[in-house]
Amino acid sequence: MNHDAAIERLYRQHSRRVLATLIRLLGDFELAEEGLQEAFMAAVQQWPSQGVPEHPAAWLIRTGQQRGIDQIRRRQTSRRHAHLVAPDEPAASLDERSIQHDPLRLLFTCCHPGLALDERVALTLREMCGLTTEQVARALLQRPATLAQRIVRAKRRIRDAGIPYEVPDARALPGRLPAVLRVIYLVFNEGYSQSAGDALVDVSLSAEAMELAGALVRLLPEGEVYGLLALMWLHDARRDARQGPDGELVPLEEQDRGRWDRLRIRDGMAHLGQALALTPTGPYTLQASIAAEHVRASSAEATDGRRIVMLYEALYRQQPSPVIALNRAAAVAMRDGPEAGLRLLEALEAHKAIVNYHLFHAARADLHRRAGHSREARLAYEQALALTSQQPERRFLQRRLAELTTSSR
């Protein structure tokens, strides 16, 4: 492996953790981001001749911290930064335990109740997980310009309000949990099915989300934390089967179930059992229960569609969102046939966000195809293609469209 490739690999492996620690050490998002970039620029210049350090993350943190301190000095720092330029910076701030906890500190800081919910989600995805503004916008079904403004506003609010960079105590944790769980799951989803690009899966993002949830369940062993862990493990168990030999998307009903990871399924089912033992049952536990029905079945035809619809009904009562309604319609179609699903999808067309969501049109296309409505299916596939930039999904939709064209000749 050449030096550039090695540094690129190390960037993907360490950059998010390095940034989380630099935010703690420098007390400023912008300074930390600049320090991170300068540290990797220094690595590009020095490592090819000097070799990669034994502990590259620690080297990057120290270098980024020093670059940040230099920047503060150049700016003739204000009093609130004075402690950062002191020569006796405590060594404990760079110990391994502190560094390991920094991603959780950053997660809870970004999800502080002093921020609006949309600011919490957007900031965490952008700053902690390294997603681009465009990726965050797609994940949240919002415009990139709107997301960029929210991120800037959130950073300013953290600075002006003096929001602490810490994991809250046990009394404050439950109220902080829902936004944190939502963020973790959005990160997992972006890794599990990337919103753009040539690859379907970014294993590092999914692994980061699962690791965060594992750390969180040790801190707060509540039902919904176990439910989210179960949901992610059960989805991740199907990861390899979701792609064909050339990276093409393989839908659930066509997947080779022999490629599903049985150890991950076992662990996911164990987490689900822990979640169900704790009440009340929340939305992540319900979604994990739906995923469990799929992995229990020996084939798509053997899947218990009746129970899946029942679980989606319960989920929709808790979270009456158009995306849940879309998934419920797909489940009804699996149980009662494509026409029944199409009737439910028609009712969603009044929701502006959902009609700009490519999976809505992909679902419509699939149900029209199954119902024998070739013209309507073609139009829906074309709409879905116009709304997605994720290449494996585009190839899948193009293949379905080509099959329709061929069969209609």
pTM over 0.85: no
Residues 44 and 111 in one domain: no
Are 63 and 141 found together in one domain? no
Q: Which domain holds residue 54?
A: 1-82
DSSP state of 82: G
CATH classification of the domain holding 127: 1.10.10
The owner of tokens 């949830």 is 213
Rounded distance, CA 169 to CA 220, Å?
10
Please state, in angstroms and rounded to a whole number, the distance separating the CA atoms of residues 181 and 292. Answer: 20
C-alpha distance from residue 43 to each of 8, 48, 127 (Å): 11, 8, 21
Sequence-distant (6+) residues with CB within 8 A of 312 are: 290, 324, 327, 328, 331
Same domain, 133 and 181: yes
- Do 135 and 62 share a structural domain? no
Q: Which residue has the tokens 């090819």?
A: 48
Rounded to whole angstroms, the Cα distance separating 207 from 280 reads 27
Is the same domain home to 118 and 183? yes
**Per-residue tokens: 217:** 């369940």
77 DSSP 8-state letter = -
Q: Is residue 160 part of a domain?
A: yes
Contacts of 193 by beta carbon, 8 Å cutoff, 6+ apart:
200, 201, 390
User: Same domain for 108 and 68?
Assistant: no
Q: What is the pLDDT along the chain (409 residues), one digit of tens a residue?
A: 566 677 778 787 788 889 989 998 988 888 998 999 999 999 888 888 888 888 888 999 999 999 988 888 877 555 555 555 444 444 435 666 667 778 888 888 988 888 887 788 788 878 877 778 887 887 676 788 988 888 999 998 998 888 888 888 878 877 888 888 988 888 888 776 655 444 444 656 788 789 889 888 987 899 999 999 999 999 999 988 988 887 788 999 999 999 999 999 999 999 999 999 998 899 999 999 999 999 999 999 999 999 999 999 999 999 999 999 999 999 999 999 999 999 999 999 888 889 889 999 999 999 999 999 999 999 999 999 999 887 888 889 999 999 887 766 5
Rounded distance between C-alpha atoms, residue 409 and residue 405, angstroms: 7
Question: Which stretches within 27-142 are classed as H helix?
Answer: 29-50, 56-74, 96-110, 117-123, 133-139
